[in-house]
Structure 1
Amino acid sequence: MVKGFTNSLIQCVLFTFNFVFVCFGVIIGVLGGYFLVKSTDFKQIIDTPDTGAIVVVLTGIAVFIISFLGCFGAVKENSCLLKMYCFCVGILSILIIGPLIIFMVYSVKLDEIMEKQLLTAFTEYRVNDPKKNSISAAIDTLHQTSKCCGYNGPAWWAANLPEFEDNTVPASCCSNQITIGLMNRPQNKCTIDQVKFTQGCEGELRTILKLFFNTMITSLLIIGLTLLIAAAIACILANAARAQ
């Protein structure tokens, strides 16, 4: 009777573990997908770990499928399913190491990435480029989506680029869409007193990336360690199911 109670307890714990991970797999997959979509706004101006994000999305899907398998195996006390679950969880725990290392490296080198890539991109901004090069367009998008202006604030433009020595900023920093001419053509610049976003993009982007990297590192560590515990519990239940 004690043995039956122990098996039931293990079964309940394993099912609970995996039900939580079914939900967690969805959350982490959505989070990775959100970063992939969001990173397209500034992909031209700063290198982002798309490979790591893709692996996170795939990990989320795998966690969902494997955890569902674990739930089903726990309920049925199916020895074959539980052994398959143990094997899959072990492989998944090893694969998590890849994106974990990627995000840890990016987190450590974030200062260097911001200083080299983002600053270089801002110095290449050209307001009068008729074709609106991809870097300039990406910075305009960054202004709007991250609600920021300039590398470290609106004053950066006048201090660093000759095009803005007249104390102006790109129109993407302005409070309203300003138009000029008979054709109602959008104006490329506006005066600094019309600026809507006063925060620098370096600080805003750093905060976004740091939060994402830390969230991913913490999530992957928790998933990896907890999956190993779940695998150990599943192995115990599988041996108990086979012995019956």
Structure 2
Amino acid sequence: MEARFPIMYYYRYVNAEVNCCYKYIMFTYNIVFWLAGLLLIAAGIWAWSEKGVLQNLSQLTQRSAFDPVWLVLLVGGVSFTLGFAGCVGALRENICLLKFFSGLICFIIFLELGVAVLAVLFQSQLRNWLSDFLLANIKAYETDDDLKNLIDSLQQTRSCCGAEGPKDWEQNPYYGCDKPSLKCGVPFSCCVVDPADSVLNTQCGYGVRKLQESEWAEHIYMKGCMAALEDWLPGNLYTLAGAFLVISLLQIVGIYLAKSLISDIQKVRLTY
């Protein structure tokens, strides 16, 4: 009698699945932005606490000049938001968060391109706006330590003084010639530095503008910071363009990873 054995059929089910490589690259890519955002937000809050802003929030509306902490908090907030959406969206395979992540990066790219195009098309208007902006902050130089350090850094690194020249400091309430405290002076960052001096003289600019204008150049920089920036820009266009290209490529990589993950997640859900 012929023995009969059951015939066994083996089926191989090929199901779509989320690419783990994309998933964890996306997570690693965004954890850097998340942590950087947290650090910047913490630094901004600490700076405000040191200036007493957290104890008296009305100071935020009373400031007439630019507070660099706002920029730190803005960059930190955007970085934290992107990092959070990217990390959680990748780990939890959340399409909504991944779409928000890629949409926000697309918006940032278009914003960057828009600013660049407007800067090229309206150069004279942009220069006037920057000059007025810098002059407004020169007037508020002594009112905020962060702003003070920012202006000092600009004047020292670019070897300049004031927005258009040393006379701009006459508009500062502390450095005007009719003021008793720093009468007819300029900040130390305007002073021409002698390489032989090992100690920085922070009083080197006091009373300099009392001298004949022809003698100023011996003690302080005569070039305004707007002119110094205009001289610096042409020689660094390739550096700026390279930085913009690298940032844009990183943003495009983020969008590609998010779109790839969204596509994989949608394919997996269609098989259910």
* Pairwise TM-score range, normalised by the shorter structure: 0.5 to 0.7
Match among 137, 140, 161 for residue 134 of structure 1: 140
* CA 1:72–1:140: 2 relative to 1, 3 Å: closer
Match among 54, 60, 65 for residue 84 of structure 2: 65
Are 1:100 and 2:112 an aligned pair?
yes
Verify the 8 A CA contact 1:170 1:189 in the aligned structure 2: yes
Identity of paired residues, percent?
Answer: 10
1:48-59 → structure 2 map (5 Å cutoff) = 56-59=75-78
Q: 1:78 matched to which residue of 2?
A: none
In 2, Cα distance between the equivalents of 1:120 and 1:228? 35
Are 1:150 and 2:161 an aligned pair?
yes
Q: 1:114 matched to which residue of 2?
A: 127
In 1, Cα distance between the equivalents of 2:118 and 2:35? 24
Structure-1-length-normalised TM-score: 0.53
Verify the 8 A CA contact 2:37 2:75 in the aligned structure 1: yes
* CA 1:121–1:68: 2 relative to 1, 3 Å: closer
Counterpart residue type for residue 149 of structure 1: C
Structure-2-length-normalised TM-score: 0.49
* CA 1:70–1:19: 2 relative to 1, 3 Å: farther
Verify the 8 A CA contact 2:24 2:90 in the aligned structure 1: yes
* CA 1:136–1:69: 2 relative to 1, 3 Å: closer
Higher alpha-carbon Rg: 2
Verify the 8 A CA contact 1:66 1:89 in the aligned structure 2: yes
Match among 22, 27, 31 for residue 13 of structure 1: 22
Are 1:202 and 2:226 an aligned pair?
yes
Q: 2:201 matched to which residue of 1?
A: 176
Q: 1:228 matched to which residue of 2?
A: 255
In 1, Cα distance between the equivalents of 2:241 and 2:41? 13
Q: 1:88 matched to which residue of 2?
A: 100
**Aligned pairs, number:** 205
In 1, Cα distance between the equivalents of 2:203 and 2:100? 58
Match among 214, 217, 224 for residue 192 of structure 1: 217
Structure 1 or 2: more helix by fraction: 1
Q: Give the match's secondary structure for 1:96.
A: helix
Structure 1 or 2: more strand by fraction: 1
* CA 1:24–1:141: 2 relative to 1, 3 Å: closer
CA offset at residue 88 of structure 1?
A: 2.4
